[in-house]
Amino acid sequence: MSRSPVSPRSPPAVSRTRFGAGRMWPLWEWLFRIAPPSWSEYVLRHWSGRKVVIAIPWVWLGLFFLVPFLIVFKISFSEVRIAMPPYAPLIEWLGDQALQLRLNLANYTFLLTDDLYVSSYLYSIKVAAVSSLWCLAIGYPMAYAMARCTQTWRNLFLLLVMLPSFTSFLLRVYAWIGLLKNNGVINNVLMALGVINEPITMMQTDFAVYVGIVYSYLPFMILPLYNNLEKHDPALLEAAADLGARPVTTFLRITLPLSLDGIVAGLLLVFIPAVGEFVIPSLLGRTDQLMIGRVLTDEFFSNRDWPVASAVAIVMLLLLVLPIMIFQRYQTRELERRR
């Protein structure tokens, strides 16, 4: 019996068994079909499966984080000038065969010596830390109750936690202005009930900033805590109760230590974005004390001092490196524990 000839452009049979129909993305499968056999075999051997999945986020981070970061980092060593763009180039030609590199370190020394920037950094860290602790105090009981209720109520509570995020963030912050101002809803209700005789000043205060940040970032605390608490084994609590442990002792000795990873993750998810918050302090906060996000915006758009603004952004990112590393560590521990 005659054997049909094999096309020299056909990939090896082992490759076709590894990648059956419907297992590759449409674009990837199209490139695989039109490419020459050597390229197709190279892709199948070296750029298939896990490597492709890992390469996609790395390319994304390289394009949308690393490249912009390097551009801002370069501008932070430039000198301001009245031109477009409003900063001097780092490398200039002095002649036909000579280049001059100018690194201006005065932008960073200016941040360390000027009281405005130092106080803005410290105030931003303080507001973010206090807001994170308030989110923990409010979010932990909510997450614990959600993890202990039935499946029907659990889905409803999850929907209620995420429901405010379906509306615009800016609109939700503006709504707090109507609640906190002197003739707002809160003061009108308290005066109608006879609790106060004159309006309480709540707008343009630290209290208003804390309220806005806690309200906006509370889901970032509840969700990781709930994700951790609902995986606890109820048999541990039953065993502790059988051994005579009271509910408070059971919580402090079993539930709280097991939920430490969720607590750290929630604190960092609130703290990291709260440090650079701009909208809430601008609309609800004080005018005599600025957070670093407002200072950064003013330097870029009002003063048009891009080198100093870039230095402010780089220093703020360096301040967040340690919390990000801690968050990554606890995330890795959580993944290893699930395995």
CATH of the domain at 327: 1.10.3720.10
Supply the pLDDT for residue 302.
86
Say if 180 falls within a structural domain.
yes
| Residue 47, token pair as written in the block | 């750029």
Q: Structurally, how many domains does the chain consist of?
A: 1
User: Where does residue 148 rank: exposed (0-12), middle (13-18), buried (19+ CB within 10 A)?
Assistant: middle
| Residue 61, token pair as written in the block | 């981070």
Say if 190 falls within a structural domain.
yes
What are the Cα distances from residue 124, in Å, to 117, 261, 316?
A: 10, 25, 10
Supply the pLDDT for residue 18.
43
Supply the pLDDT for residue 88.
84
Say if 32 falls within a structural domain.
no
**Number of C-beta neighbours around residue 92 at 10 A:** 11
User: What sign for the dihedral angle of Cα 128, 262, 251, 229?
Assistant: positive
Rounded CA separation 233/132 (Å): 27
The single residue listed with the structure tokens 């940040």 is: 213
Contact 186, 212 (CB under 8 A): no
Say if 153 falls within a structural domain.
yes
Specify the DSSP class assigned to residue 163.
G
Say if 263 falls within a structural domain.
yes
| Residue 104, token pair as written in the block | 């201006």
Whole-number CA gyration radius for the chain? 28
pLDDT digits (tens, 9 = 90+) for 16-68: 444 444 444 566 566 656 656 666 566 666 666 677 777 788 888 888 988 99
**Number of C-beta neighbours around residue 120 at 10 A:** 22
Say if 219 falls within a structural domain.
yes
What are the Cα distances from residue 285, in Å, to 19, 121, 165?
A: 58, 15, 22
Say if 274 falls within a structural domain.
yes
Bridge partner residues of 91 (DSSP): 101
Q: What is the model's pTM?
A: 0.78
Rounded CA separation 323/153 (Å): 34
User: What sign for the dihedral angle of Cα 252, 256, 257, 260?
Assistant: negative
* pLDDT-flagged residues of the chain (< 50): 1-24
Say if 260 falls within a structural domain.
yes
Supply the pLDDT for residue 12.
46
Contact 271, 221 (CB under 8 A): no
| Residue 208, token pair as written in the block | 């208003």
Domain coverage including residue 144: 106-338
What are the Cα distances from residue 328, in Å, to 212, 264, 323, 331?
A: 27, 10, 9, 5
Rounded CA separation 101/130 (Å): 44
SS3 state at 287: coil
| Residue 255, token pair as written in the block | 């539930």
Q: Which residues contact 94 (CB under 8 A, 6 or more apart)?
A: 100
Supply the pLDDT for residue 328.
76
Specify the DSSP class assigned to residue 302.
I
Supply the pLDDT for residue 14.
41
Contact 126, 271 (CB under 8 A): no
Q: What angle do CA 163, 166, 167 make, to 5 degrees?
A: 115
SS3 state at 80: strand
